[in-house]
Amino acid sequence: MLDSQQYDLASKDKISPVTDSERPRIARALRNGKRVPVRNIASAANGKTRAVTITHGGTKGSALRRARLDRRTLEGRFEEGLIAQRVLHLGGRDSIAEPLYSVVRHSVRLELLVTLAWAECRRAGVLAAETGALSGAAQAFVSIGRELRGTLEMIGLERRQTEVLDVAGEIARLNLQERHDNP
């Protein structure tokens, strides 16, 4: 501050000289592109991001990918339990490095997104009614599922290889068995 002049905190314009006792200082924060007065400077809510609560399928996917989930909700407890299971599978919190722990948290969040996308597919259907193409939820399920599979492979949790049956060979075997049973 200059000796004889003070500046308005919001506009940075020079204002008439006043003493500090005449004009209280107003703290301002940038909200929606505007500098607005902060109600309570000491309030913890002014600086903290709020936890996300999933209320319906229309919640923004970007918020679900990055934001902290409210631990009081079912989804928050699911996420916390799954993180604990994966960390325990890898040997406990003390035995894994921070980057691997970050990948574990990311894989759990992806699993939650896959679960939500599948629930939306079951509710609304896999195909869009008007076009017959894959719905948005089905596309999200496929793409997030691929990302989850890659993340789990980075952790070391690879999916089990199952034997894929040859459909034509299986039908031929069943027909042969039926002919043998019924002469």
pLDDT 10s digit of each residue in the chain, 183 long? 444 444 445 555 544 555 555 666 677 777 777 888 777 666 655 555 666 666 555 545 566 666 677 778 888 888 899 999 999 988 888 888 999 998 999 999 899 888 888 888 888 888 877 887 888 888 888 999 999 999 998 888 776 677 767 778 888 888 888 888 876
- pLDDT at residue number 129: 76
Amino acid at 68: R
- pLDDT at residue number 84: 93
pTM of the model: 0.56
Burial of 38 (0-12, 13-18, 19+ CB in 10 A): middle
- pLDDT at residue number 8: 47
User: In the structure encoding, which two tokens stand for residue 163, read together?
Assistant: 């034997």
- pLDDT at residue number 2: 45
Alpha helix stretches (DSSP H) within 90-166:
98-124, 136-155
Region of residue 88 (phi > 0: left; psi between -120 and 50: alpha; otherwise: beta): alpha
What is the b/e burial string over 75-99, where b = at least 16 CB atoms within 10 angstroms of the residue's CB?
bbeebeebbeebbeebeeeeebeee
- pLDDT at residue number 23: 61
